[in-house]
Amino acid sequence: MYLTAADVPPLAAALGLDEEAFIERYTELTPDRRGLRLAGAPDAPCLFLAGDRCGVYAARPRQCRTYPEGWRTAQPCPGVSPPASARA
């Protein structure tokens, strides 16, 4: 999951971290080393995915908020949809 500079402050705040700590703990360089993406999760599509819910939904990255724009996989993260409790 690629991150924009604008994604970092809300994600850091949602996790109770300053931006530097968030970047250190939860991100890695993109393969071209020009940006950041969320660090990989060993057993899930995303380290913030809990079941089928996004653990940082209100602060999720732009790429998640604008799905399917920018996604290269046919299978989206199930967390990109609103939590069932938020659906009408």
Q: Which residues bind ligand SF4 (CB under 6 A)?
A: 1, 46, 48-49, 54, 56, 60-61, 64, 77, 79-80
> Which among 65, 76, 57 is positioned nearest to 48, based on CA atoms?
57
Least distance to ligand SF4, CB of residue 47, Å: 7
> Which among 43, 20, 15 is positioned nearest to 61, based on CA atoms?
15
Closer CB to ligand SF4, 31 or 51, in the complex: 51
Q: What are the beta bridge partners of residue 50?
A: 53
Closer CB to ligand SF4, 29 or 66, in the complex: 66
Closer CB to ligand SF4, 8 or 80, in the complex: 80
Least distance to ligand SF4, CB of residue 36, Å: 13
Cα dihedral: 70, 74, 79, 80 (round 10): 40
